Amino acid sequence: MIPFVINIVYFLLLLALLLAFIRLTRGPSLPDRVVALELIASIVVGFVGVHAIDTGISSLLDVAIVIALTAFLAAIGFARFIERGPQA
């Protein structure tokens, strides 16, 4: 039962990743793209969690922690870049 469910969850997450990527490429302004990037990072955290269940390797959760951390720092950096401009 679990492998079947995990395949469905992979499919749903892939679909979500595709939709977020559409917004990333189409986004009319830079903040829209940053929001899409943040959502992509959140989806990837979910992906890593599902992959940890799929393979049974619990150390993959450290990867999820690092991805969440870098996504947060990237969002803060992008926001400063948007607000202050490239020279600040």
Partner 1 sequence: MTDIIVSILLLTGASFMLLAAVGIVRLPDLPTRMHASTKAGAMGAMFTMAGVAFFFADGVVFARAFAIVVFILITSPIAAHVIGRAGYFIGTPLWSGTVKDELRDNYDSQTHNLKSGFEGSPESVTPPPEPNSDKTA
Structure tokens at 20: 């977020």
d(CA 8, CA 35): 26
In the complex, what is the shortest distance from the CB of residue 87 to partner 1, in angstroms, rounded to a whole number?
15
d(CA 69, CA 41): 10
Nearer Cβ to partner 1, position 72 or 87?
A: 72
Interface residues with partner 1 (CB under 8 A)?
1-2, 5-6, 8-9, 12-13, 15-20, 22-23, 29, 31-32, 34-36, 38-39, 42-43, 45-46, 49-50, 52-53, 58, 61-62, 64-65, 68-69, 71-72, 75-76, 78-80, 82-83
Handedness of CA 33, 36, 41, 44 (dihedral sign): negative
